[in-house]
């Protein structure tokens, strides 16, 4: 098994695990962006969100909801930024789905999710919505 997160889930390599459920494991990011930076991962290997089975996705997001409050409380944070780098082009470095939960404080110097994008849009909203609706069905 070469996937580092599969190996953490299996207990083969050490991690600071904060919650373990049948379908989900949560552990501290080894290079935290802030104290309390947690990664929540599905037990089964899946590279991207689109590769998750419905039940796996349900369990993953349930765990995120269950952990967000305790992580915030444990660190005395004002909020959490919750995000997924979904695919190599987005900066995903470990191809096993993981949800970042990063505690936030008003003066922590970090921005919102909006600050990572230069807002280089080219197409009108209506055209884009229609294109997506066609594929969603």
Residues recognised as catalytic: 98
Residues 6+ apart with CB under 8 A from 17: 8, 25, 26, 27
* 104: helix, strand or coil: strand
Residue 81 interaction partner, one of ligand AMP, Zn ion, none, beta carbon < 5-8 Å per kind: none
Q: What is the size of the binding site for Zn ion (CB under 5 A)? A: 5
H or E element at residue 42: strand 38-42
Q: Answer yes or no: are the C-beta atoms of 3 and 95 closer than 8 Å.
A: yes
Q: Output the smallest distance, CB 43 to Zn ion, in A.
A: 9
Among 1, 2, 54, 91, binds ligand AMP (CB under 6 A): 91
Find the binding residues for ligand AMP in span 31-60 (CB under 6 A): 31, 39
Nearer to Zn ion, 34 or 44 (CB): 44
């Amino acid at each position: 098994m070469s996937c580092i997160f599969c190996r953490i889930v299996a207990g083969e390599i050490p991690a600071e695990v904060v919650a373990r459920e049948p379908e989900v494991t949560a552990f501290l990011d080894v290079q935290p962006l802030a104290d309390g930076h947690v990664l929540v991962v599905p037990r089964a290997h899946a590279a991207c969100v689109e590769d998750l089975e419905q039940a796996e996705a349900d369990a993953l997001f349930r765990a995120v909801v269950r952990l967000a409050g305790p992580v915030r409380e444990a660190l005395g944070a004002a909020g959490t930024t919750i995000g997924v780098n979904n695919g190599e082009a987005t900066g995903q470095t470990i191809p096993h789905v993981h949800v970042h939960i990063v505690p936030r404080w008003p003066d922590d110097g970090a921005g919102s999710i909006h600050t990572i994008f230069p807002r280089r849009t080219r197409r009108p909203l209506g055209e884009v919505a229609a294109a997506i609706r066609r594929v969603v069905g």
